[in-house]
Structure 1
Amino acid sequence: MDLGLNGRTVIVTGASGGIGREIARGYAAEGADVVLTYWNSRDDAETLAKEIGEHALVVPYELGDPASAEALLSAALGWTGRVDVLVNNALRVPGWRPTPDDSFENAPDDEWLQMLRHNIEGYIGLSRLVAPVMRERRFGRLVHISSGLVDDGMIGAEYYTAAKAALHGFNRSAAFSLGRDGDILSNVVLPGLTTTARNESLIGQMGHTYSDRAPIRRLLDASEVANAVVYLGSAANTGITGQAISVTGGV
């Protein structure tokens, strides 16, 4: 299937590792020019860019920082003159880490407020910046990475899931606004517990709980989640918009 991505410009935030890295690889394999953003892991982002070749651009990006978002858009437009797809994948996690016996009300105010502000305002802010570019071209795809924890819940994820759930509401209404101005679609993807290097410890603790519940009896790896994201952000997707789609192996 031709996904219609050849020559299109895709921004993937948080592309230096995990699911983001596989998303970037997926778009590059389809002939897209991919803007790879990183926050701390510059070396990882540059290694990925070398792998992709001339169709990759590495740009630093701090989620939730308006100036950083504007610089990112400027770099993308300066590179190819267009932005066709935005994948909001970056994540900011505060320093507070709850224990299983801890309570959400114990989180310091600056920590839980930072979690909310960066992870919802950052996604919305960057979406606001790219929307006029897409409206002008009458084409665009937004894919926002959420989490299966919005549905499942977990002790310690109260503020993280609050930010992600707010993203779902934004996505649903934004799809109507964007759709009136052309072939512009917006969706949310909810990965479950996914096999990545960052998740090794968590998988060791509770991976079997999820795999035992899954119809396919295993966890998905990052490339399997990326496949869904690449399709939703492609021209082959002509009618899926305003949706929150679970990519969890059926959990």
Structure 2
Amino acid sequence: MFRAGSVNRMDMGLEGRTVIVTGASGGLGRAIARGFAAEGASVVLTYSTSRAEADKLAVEIGDRALVSRYDMSEEQGAAALVSAALEWTGRVDVLVNNAVVWGSTAVPEGPFERVPDDGWVATLRANVEGAVRLSRAVAPVMRAHRFGRLVHISSTIAADGMAGGEYYAAAKAALHGFSRSAARSLGADGDILSNVVLPGLTRTDTNAHIVEAAGAHYSALAAVGRLLDADEVAGAVVYLGSAANTGITGQAITVNGGA
């Protein structure tokens, strides 16, 4: 949450708006959902397998939270999710494409070309098609209201690369091209903005084992000398998804402490 000094709080213009956060049952998604809720938005919390965690977050947020299942690999999932949101509040103002399907994309001690087709194809299709389908589903609603914000969560792996992450990186990089072109199309029909956020390795409530293994390496690369936590990344996402953001669109913004 942005604060000017210790007194004034920026008005994000999110009071009464409806936000869909995919993959909100844990990790970065949970922090993003909390951030929007703290600004007065109604938040649709999606989960794929962990309903219990999404329900816990909904209890924390209160009556401005709706829990809905969303599986990126299901072709009808996007339409069903948007219908549920519209039935709940009659609007969708912000979409945060945060959910991810990791897939089976690595062969231990082996090169990327040995990954079986069903592994890498599934990773590409779910992550790219899932985000694109959901963006397509909310676009007519945003155009009709002449307001909307799309924020796609990518990864610094898409820009920096990582051995073993070839197909995940390819899927995330695809969001960059889609978002930049969508920004031009949507912007012609109102105050509708589309951006990509690239977090680096971030401390969340679900990745302690990864931070333990690689945190020192990435902390040393960061200008701030440490890993960011989930709330710090979520703050950038909330700003980009808010009415306070009036002109940032078509951008891919890295949020990793200056690594």
TM-score (norm 1): 0.98
Please list the CA deviations of residues 144-199 of structure 1 after superposition, one character each: whole Å capped at 9, or x if unmatched.
00001112211110000001111100011110000000000000000000012332
TM-fit CA distance, 1:96:
4.4
* Aligned: 1:167 with 2:163: no
Equivalent residues in 2 for 1:108-147, closer than 5 Å:
108-147=116-155
For residue 45 of structure 2, the aligned residue among 36, 44, 48 is 36
Which runs of no fewer than 5 residues in structure 1 stay unpaired? none
Q: Is the 8 A contact 1:64 1:125 kept in 2?
A: no
Identity %: 66
SS in 2 for 1:197: coil
For residue 185 of structure 1, the aligned residue among 185, 193, 205 is 193
SS in 2 for 1:156: coil
CA distance in 2, matches of 1:247, 1:169: 19
**Following TM superposition, where does structure 1 have runs of at least 4 consecutive aligned residues deviating by more than 3 angstroms?**
95-98
For residue 231 of structure 2, the aligned residue among 201, 215, 223 is 223
Counterpart residue number, 2:29:
20
Q: Is the 8 A contact 2:204 2:229 kept in 1?
A: yes
For residue 244 of structure 2, the aligned residue among 224, 236, 239 is 236
CA distance in 2, matches of 1:20, 1:33: 15
For residue 79 of structure 2, the aligned residue among 70, 80, 84 is 70
TM-fit CA distance, 1:66:
2.1
CA distance in 2, matches of 1:18, 1:32: 20
CA distance in 2, matches of 1:203, 1:131: 36
Counterpart residue number, 1:79:
88
TM-fit CA distance, 1:54:
0.2
TM-fit CA distance, 1:115:
0.3
- Write the letter of the residue equivalent to 1:210: Y
The number of residues matched between the two structures is 250
CA distance in 1, matches of 2:179, 2:147: 17
For residue 198 of structure 1, the aligned residue among 198, 206, 230 is 206
TM-fit CA distance, 1:201:
1.9
CA distance in 2, matches of 1:70, 1:215: 42
Please list the CA deviations of residues 110-132 of structure 1 after superposition, one character each: whole Å capped at 9, or x if unmatched.
11000000000110010001000
1:97/1:197 CA distance change after superposition, 3 Å: farther
SS in 2 for 1:87: strand
For residue 55 of structure 1, the aligned residue among 61, 64, 67 is 64
Please list the CA deviations of residues 58-113 of structure 1 after superposition, one character each: whole Å capped at 9, or x if unmatched.
000001312111110010000000000000000012134433x3210111101100
TM-score (norm 2): 0.95
Compute the RMSD of aligned alpha carbons: 0.9
CA distance in 2, matches of 1:118, 1:198: 22
CA distance in 1, matches of 2:205, 2:238: 21
SS in 2 for 1:16: coil
Q: Is the 8 A contact 1:3 1:231 kept in 2?
A: yes
Q: Is the 8 A contact 1:171 1:186 kept in 2?
A: yes
